[in-house]
Amino acid sequence: MRDKVESKYSIEELFCSKGRTKIIKTLALNKELNISKIIKNTNLNHSNVMNHLRFLIKINLIQEKNFGRIKIYRFREEDLKAHCIKKMIELIEDID
């Protein structure tokens, strides 16, 4: 059974590590990627990426889509919090 989606979390929890922040930024700017692309773009190891992805799925910031054995991770831009995070990243990184 899936864990209940947590709607409350602090900004400190969300951005608690450089690795998690890299994953959030990578997915926000690329919309959706498989695990190999996330690992390549963030220079993190598989275990760390999976742990961070589990948390981000749990808080409903990203979505996991299954296509047989292939899993794609998608930034949930339609979610207001996710949308605001993406805008913040674009402003800080000066991306249009």
pLDDT tens per residue, range 11-60: 888 999 999 999 999 999 998 999 999 999 999 999 999 999 999 999 99
Using one digit for the tens of pLDDT, what is the confidence trace for 59-76? Answer: 999 999 999 999 999 999
pLDDT at 2: 44
**Does CATH place domain 16-93 in 1.10.10.60?**
no
pLDDT at 5: 52
- CA dist 56 → 14, 52, 95, 96 (Å): 8, 6, 23, 25
